[in-house]
């Protein structure tokens, strides 16, 4: 099912952005910061720009083109772009876009409709107006609460996408390290992204509880049993 909204929900994406390289090198903790930042996603006919944690309706992903007839913008084209962007319904199918940390946002559209209906309620009776206003506030609070939950879920999925990209980067780093060591060419100098990626993975492992080995299993799988060196 195609989501109505998408969101860039992972702060870890900064690791793969050249504009953040020097800042993250000076302070690796910035990788975890959820302060707003912009992610640019290149594609064949331009680029998309998303602001961290700001939901966007899929029809607003690309700027309006006055030269294109509305009927020419096929739904299938939009659906395909969205599924490519979010990696499919489970976020697992498009590794090409993992680094951007974009996922679908599960917003309850029934609540959104109810909010609009209440907002349009027009009654002459002051008591009815008060009731409508109270209902409006109740629906609004419910929508905000559900959106917060949806964003939390989106962040978890988005982080898992970016961590997968980090894992692949780290695997390549270790392979390059082993190749150069075997060939006697010295020690491979890791890039900032590779070094900070290793730092982030190690940080996640350290924070994980003894009862949950999700991150350890993730890294162990990536390294075929070899831990960070």
Per-residue pLDDT of the chain (229 residues; tens, 9 = 90+): 788 899 999 999 998 888 888 888 788 888 889 999 999 999 887 789 999 999 998 988 887 666 555 444 444 578 888 999 998 877 677 788 999 999 998 776 555 566 556 555 566 677 777 777 787 788 778 777 888 888 888 999 999 899 888 877 766 666 666 666 676 666 655 565 666 666 666 666 555 554 455 555 655 655 554 444 4
DSSP bridge partners of 104: 6
Other beta carbons less than 10 A from residue 174's beta carbon? 19
Euclidean distance between the first and the last CA atom of the chain, given in angstroms as a whole number = 42
Parallel, antiparallel or unpaired: strands 56-57 and 5-8: antiparallel
CB 155 within 8 A of CB 52: no
The helix/strand/coil state of 5 is: strand
From CA 76, how far away is CA 58, in angstroms rounded? Answer: 12
Domain boundaries, given as residue ranges, for the chain: 163-223
pTM of the predicted protein model: 0.67
């Amino acid at each position: 099912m195609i989501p109505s909204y998408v969101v860039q929900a992972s702060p870890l994406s900064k690791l793969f952005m050249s504009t953040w390289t020097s800042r993250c090198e000076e302070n690796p903790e910035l990788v975890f910061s959820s302060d707003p930042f912009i992610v640019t996603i290149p594609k064949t006919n331009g680029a998309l720009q998303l602001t961290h944690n700001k939901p966007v309706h899929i029809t607003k992903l690309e700027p309006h083109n006055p030269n294109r007839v509305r009927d020419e913008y096929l739904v299938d084209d939009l659906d395909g772009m969205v599924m490519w962007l979010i990696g499919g319904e489970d976020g697992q199918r498009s590794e090409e876009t993992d680094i951007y940390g974009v996922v679908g946002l599960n917003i309850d559209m029934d609540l959104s409709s109810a909010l609009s209906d209440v907002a349009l309620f027009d009654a002459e009776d002051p008591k009815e107006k008060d009731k409508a206003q109270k209902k409006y506030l109740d629906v609004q609070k419910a929508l905000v609460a559900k959106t917060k939950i949806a964003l939390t879920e989106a962040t978890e999925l988005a982080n898992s996408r970016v961590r997968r990209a980090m894992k692949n980067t780290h695997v390549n780093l270790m392979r390059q390290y082993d190749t150069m060591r075997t060939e006697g060419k010295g020690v491979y100098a890791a890039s900032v992204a590779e070094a900070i990626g290793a730092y982030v993975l190690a940080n996640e492992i350290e924070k994980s509880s003894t009862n949950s080995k999700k991150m350890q299993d993730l890294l162990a799988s990536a390294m075929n049993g070899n831990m960070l060196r």
